[in-house]
Structure formats: C-alpha cells, structure tokens
Chain A
Amino acid sequence: MSTAHKFLTMFEAIGLFIAVVGVILAIASRFSGRRGDRVVAAAFLLPTVALISVGLVYPGLKTIYQSFYNAAGNAFIGIDNYRTIFGDPDQRTVLRNTVLWVVITPFVATAVGLLYAILVDKARVEALAKALIFLPMAISFVGAGIIWKFVYEFRPDQQGIKQTGLLNEILVKLGGSPHQFLINSPWNTVFLIIVMIWIQAGFAMTVLSASIKAIPEDIVEAARLDGVRAWGMFRYVTVPSIRPALIVVLTTIGIGTLKVFDIVRTMTGGQFDTSVVANEFYSQSFRSNNQGLGAALAVLLFVLVVPIVAYNVRQLRSSEGR
C-alpha cells in the first residue's frame, strides 16, 4: 500500500465515522423536552454499548470459556490449564517472576517518586527537574527497552575489547569483570524491573507532588511550631496527609506492572527465565498455539487485577468517610 493510499483509507474511515455521529445527532435533535430524553440517551449510548459489548464483554466471556478447553480449543479439559500454570516448572518460574515484578515495582517507583517530589518541591528549577524524571512516561515500553538494553550491553572480557554498555564499563573500571545482565537468572528479572521503575517513578512523582502541594499550610506551620524536624514532618505530616494519593499510585502502578509485556518481549523475548504472565500469554497463544493455556493465563491476569482494584476502591471510600 502506498502512503497516499493509506492516508486516503484513513480519511475515508474518519468521514464514515463523522457520518455516523452526524446521524446520531440528527436523530437526537428531533426529540426535545423530557419525553424525548429516552430516545436521545439511547442514541448517544448505542455506539458505545455496541463497541464495548463486541470488544470487551463478549471476548472476555469467550476467553473464560476457552480457558477450560485444550490447546486446539476443541475438547473440554476442566481446570487442567490452571493446573499447568501452577504445577509446570516453567510456568512456576513465570509466576515467580510476576510476583517479583508486582511486589518490587510499585514500592520502589513510589518511593523514588515521593523522595524526588519532596526533594524538588519549591526548588528554583522545579519544573525542569520534574520534566527530567517525567519524560520516560512519554516513551514507549519498546523504546525504553532499547534504551536500557544498551545500558546493559555486554562485550566478552577479552584483550582489546572495550565495553560499550554503561553499566559494564563502570564494573570494569571498578576492577570487576563484565556481567551478562540480561542473561544470568534470576537477577536478570531484577534488571528488567528497573526499566519499569524508571518509567513509573515519573507518574508517582507527579501525582504525589500535586498531593504534597495540597497539604494545608497551617498544618505544616503548626507542626513546625511544635518543633517537628524534617524526618518527623515526613513521617507524621506528609505521609498521613497524602495517604489516599499514595494508595492510588501504588495500586495503579501495580496493575500496570501486572500487564507488562513490551519490556520483556523487547529485551529478552521471555528467554533466560524472564517471562511473566502477560508475556507468557502472548507466547502460548500466538507462538506455541496453545489457545487454552493462553486463555487461562489471560484469565489469571484478570483475576489478579480484581483484588488490587477492590482494595483501592475500599481504601478510598473509607478515607472519604472520615
């Protein structure tokens, strides 16, 4: 397809879509007053409900159903796929890695974000300082994966060969020998997690920084008059005041981390014992053609997300009730 043809297709699609919205608005504008409300509501909601039903509800239910079927999807096998996930040694590694990701990433990213937000709060170059940490959020996970793959780049330890990866150069300069950061298990998973922390710290910092700025000044002033020092201020004023924001940040990063796929795929392809549930889902579904196991892994992701969200909603409600 030529470039011109592609753009033509795009404008056709946008045109078609504008026509659909136009028809909806035309229908809606013919009904006025309270009696027409139901018609207008139906017209406004129809496209959304249709797209969501076809794109989210039906596929979701279908996947749950598929997860009880075999690799080819033609024989019912009960919970065997789930048994595989929890019993097979390879799958257990996948689970272990996923737990590592979900436990480490939110806490470290939030800690770094919070620390940085406090450090640069009201500094002269605050906006610039924040932008530096914030920028990785605009980059794709694929791009971030490549950036860090280069940091971890390994060259064999031989005469005349210089390291081109930053981390190995530092190791060698310190008198050590170069390390295969992405290959040696289990630490390679930690080095992948660092990439996610690098991306998410900016998100944590932004939300927490806004939250810190919203702490009423009289509370801070009162604490200071009571002789509270920097650490006490952090422990007894800052953290309790921004608790709801902290929970939102932790859970949001947790959910995002659970679904991480691009980083693993770009940097190791899930080899060397680095696969996680979201990556394993892709490999099983599209590489190994094991539809049943792939579906079960997707359902597992869904099941793991639910308690995090439930916790989030409960915490926020109780903090609102206070």
Chain B
Amino acid sequence: MSATTGDAVLPVTSTPSIAALDAAGGKLKKRLTSPWASLAAVLLAFLWTAPTFGLLVTSFRPKAAIDDSGWWNFVAHPSFTLDNYRQALSSNGGGLGTFFVNSAVITIPAVLIPIALASLAAYAFAWIEFKGRNLLFVCVFALQIVPIQVTLIPLLSLYVKAGLAGTFWTIWLSHAMFGLPLAIFLLHNFMKEIPRELVEAARMDGAGHVQIFFKVLMPLLTPALAAFGIFQFLWVWNDLLVALTFAGGTPDVAPLTVALANLSGTQGTAWQLLSAGAFISMVIPVLVFLSLQRFFVRGLLAGGLKG
C-alpha cells in the first residue's frame, strides 16, 4: 500500500515541458480566448482583489476619514497617514509589536523541528529495510487525517503535568507533532523518486546511512524541503486554534493571530486598528509566499495540503 498510496495522491505526476505545450497550444489559445472569456476573467480577478484592496487603502486613511466615508472615496478625497500602523504596533495601542515577535519566535523552531525529524524518518522509510516498515508507514500516513481538535485537551493536560503550560514549548512541540505526518509523507514521496542506483552506488563505495543521507539525498531534496517548509511556515504563522489553546492571550507567548482575533472581538469597529493590524500580520507570509511560490505549487501538486 505504501508506494501506491504515495503515488495515488499525485494528480499530476509529471508536467510536460510548458514551453512545448505553449508552442502546440498556440492555436487553441485563439480558439478559447473570446472577448467574453477575457471579461469574465477580469471580473473574477476584480471580485477576488477588491476586498483586500479596500482594507489596504483603509489602513492608510486617517481615522476620521475611515469613520466618515467608504474607502472608495480615497480617489476623490485623498489622505494618507501611517498613524494606524504606529498605533497598532505601539504598546499603548494595539500592542501588536510584541505579538509580532512572538509569532517569529514560535514559527522558526516550529518549522525547523519537524523538517529535521521528518527527513530522518522519511529516509528510514524510503531506504532502510526493516520489519514492519510498511505497516508503520501506513499508520503515519493515516494519522494525517486526524483533526487536531481531537488531540487538544488531553495534550493540554499533559503539558500542565509536565510543567510546560504557558511556555513556547507547548506551541513548538504541538506544531511539530501535527506537522510530522504530512512532512514524512511528502519527503518520502520525493525520496522515492531518487534513482535506486544512486543510493546503491554510494553504499558500494562504503558510505553509511548518515553519509548517504547528507551527501547523496540532501542536495536533491532541497525543493521538497522548501515545499514543506513553506506549508509549515504558513500553517504555523497563520494558526489560531493551537495558539489559542496552548498560549491563551498573554503577550508573553501569544502570536499575532490571537491578538488580532481578540482585537476583532473587543474593538470590532476600530477599523484604523484592525486594518493596519491585519496587514501587519499578512506582510511576512505574503512575502515568503510570493518569493517561494514555485516550491509551494510543486508541494501542492505532490499532495501536500493540510486540511
């Protein structure tokens, strides 16, 4: 089951060279792109962009203007300020500066730990023969579907017993645990694609598992590691449930999402704060996403999206 399941989730295993397709599809393009199709595409793109654009404009308008009229008036009555961002970040306003630091401190280990552990495990599953390998792999694979809700309360009481409650450790460990099945699954798929001869040849030369792992596999795995890294990064940075459960709302450990959700609940009409706050929380993931998009897409196509 292990091998077939792995491949089964690849809807597109090999994408033919895009350049070749484009050349062949030149005629098709003319056939399908009618003015109506273009209009529909532009309309959809507009519908999808307008909400974000509206809030972005709002985040740069003075409070008085925001409360007085809609954001679309910025063309007729232009006004610009950075006060909203200043207020949202400062400790006597939204206090998001502190939470921004927390988000960073949470995210970095929560991405690194599962990547490293999963590469070790994926290597064992892909390239070491041992008894019960397939069964264990299927179990790990199946655990991907466990909703994290099922685990939260018992996990919380474990953390309390271990004296970890309220520290970053609860969030790091939880994200590592929840990320491992997907990480192992993705990395295993990529490792299996590496030609057997390459590994066998290294073994003939007397290389042990550790050398094979670092010298042969690691360089080839960079795209896979990047793909999972982005998933996990976006997942952790954007997570609300795990953070809310284990960190509560304290400025000591809670991330931006928690602070923003609280702000939305308590100051639901303070749009100067909410708009700036929303973009403060978005800027890092959007930058990471845009700069590493191709790895993200590759990971998506390899079946890696956490539900």
Chain A contacts to B: CB under 8 angstroms: 1, 3, 6-7, 9-10, 13-14, 17, 21, 24-25, 28-29, 31-32, 36-38, 40-42, 44-45, 47-49, 51-52, 54-60, 62-64, 66, 112, 115-116, 118-123, 129, 131-143, 145-151, 153, 162-166, 169, 198, 201, 203, 206-207, 210-211, 213-214, 217, 220-221, 224, 230, 242, 244-245, 248, 252, 255-256, 258-259, 261-262, 265-267, 269, 278, 281-282, 285-286, 291, 294-295, 297-299, 301-302, 305-306, 309, 313, 316-317, 320
* Contacting residues, chain B, for A32 (C-beta < 8 A): 206, 208-209
Choice from A49, A147, A162 contacting B51 with Cβ under 8 Å = A147
* Contacting residues, chain B, for A63 (C-beta < 8 A): 150-151, 153-154
Beta-carbon contact of A255 and B145 below 8 Å: yes
> Which B residue sits closest to A67, measured CB to CB?
B150
Choice from B28, B286, B288 contacting A220 with Cβ under 8 Å = B28
Q: Tell me how far the C-beta of B1 lies from the nearest C-beta in chain A, rounded to whole angstroms.
A: 10
Q: How far is the CA of A261 from the CA of B245 in the complex (A)?
A: 13
Q: Tell me how far the C-beta of B34 lies from the nearest C-beta in chain A, rounded to whole angstroms.
A: 8
- Give the residues from 159 to 188 in chain B that come closer than 8 angstroms, CB to CB, to chain A: 168-169, 172-174, 176-178, 180-181, 184
Q: How far is the CA of A121 from the CA of B32 in the complex (A)?
A: 9
If A7-B105, A203-B305, A230-B31 touch, does A262 touch B44 (CB 8 Å cutoff)?
Answer: no
Decide if B232 is an interface residue (CB 8 Å cutoff): no
* Contacting residues, chain A, for B264 (C-beta < 8 A): 142, 145-146, 149, 266-267
Q: Kindly list the 7 A-B residue pairs having the minimum CB-CB distance in the complex, ordered from nearest.
A: A55-B177, A140-B238, A59-B151, A245-B11, A255-B307, A138-B289, A59-B154
- A sample of 9 inter-chain contacts (CB < 8 A) reads A40-B209, A119-B40, A122-B28, A129-B41, A140-B237, A146-B275, A150-B271, A162-B70, A259-B148
Knowing that A66-B153, A320-B7 are A-B contacts, what are 4 other residue pairs whose CB atoms are under 8 Å apart, sorted by A's residue number?
A10-B105, A140-B239, A143-B260, A163-B70
Beta-carbon contact of B116 and A17 below 8 Å: yes
- Give the residues from 123 to 146 in chain B that come closer than 8 angstroms, CB to CB, to chain A: 123-124, 128-131, 133, 136, 140, 143, 145-146
Beta-carbon contact of A56 and B143 below 8 Å: yes
Q: Tell me how far the C-beta of A127 lies from the nearest C-beta in chain B, rounded to whole angstroms.
A: 9
Beta-carbon contact of B8 and A313 below 8 Å: yes
Beta-carbon contact of A265 and B240 below 8 Å: yes
Q: Of B14-22, B75-83, B189-197, which binds chain A? A: B14-22
Beta-carbon contact of A41 and B124 below 8 Å: yes
* Contacting residues, chain A, for B140 (C-beta < 8 A): 48, 52
If A142-B261, A320-B4 touch, does A51 touch B177 (CB 8 Å cutoff)?
Answer: yes
Beta-carbon contact of A123 and B145 below 8 Å: no
Q: Tell me how far the C-beta of B215 lies from the nearest C-beta in chain A, rounded to whole angstroms.
A: 12
Beta-carbon contact of A309 and B145 below 8 Å: yes
* Contacting residues, chain A, for B129 (C-beta < 8 A): 37
Q: How far is the CA of A145 from the CA of B169 in the complex (A)?
A: 28
* Contacting residues, chain A, for B121 (C-beta < 8 A): 44-45, 47-48
* Contacting residues, chain B, for A301 (C-beta < 8 A): 147, 149-150
With an 8 Å Cβ cutoff, the count of chain B residues facing the other chain is 126
- Give the residues from 21 to 62 in chain B that come closer than 8 angstroms, CB to CB, to chain A: 21-22, 24-25, 28-29, 31-33, 37-38, 40-41, 44-45, 48-52, 54-55, 58
Beta-carbon contact of B136 and A313 below 8 Å: no
Q: Tell me how far the C-beta of A128 lies from the nearest C-beta in chain B, rounded to whole angstroms.
A: 9
Q: How far is the CA of A17 from the CA of B169 in the complex (A)?
A: 12
Choice from B33, B44, B143 contacting A52 with Cβ under 8 Å = B143
Q: How far is the CA of A54 from the CA of B285 in the complex (A)?
A: 30
Decide if B198 is an interface residue (CB 8 Å cutoff): no
Beta-carbon contact of B128 and A291 below 8 Å: no
Q: How far is the CA of A150 from the CA of B53 in the complex (A)?
A: 11
* Contacting residues, chain B, for A129 (C-beta < 8 A): 41, 45
Decide if B201 is an interface residue (CB 8 Å cutoff): no
> Which B residue sits closest to A312, measured CB to CB?
B9
Pick from A7, A14, A143, A309 the residue with the most CB of B within 10 Å: A143
Q: How far is the CA of A58 from the CA of B159 in the complex (A)?
A: 13
> Which A residue sits closest to B306, measured CB to CB?
A256
Q: How far is the CA of A64 from the CA of B117 in the complex (A)?
A: 28
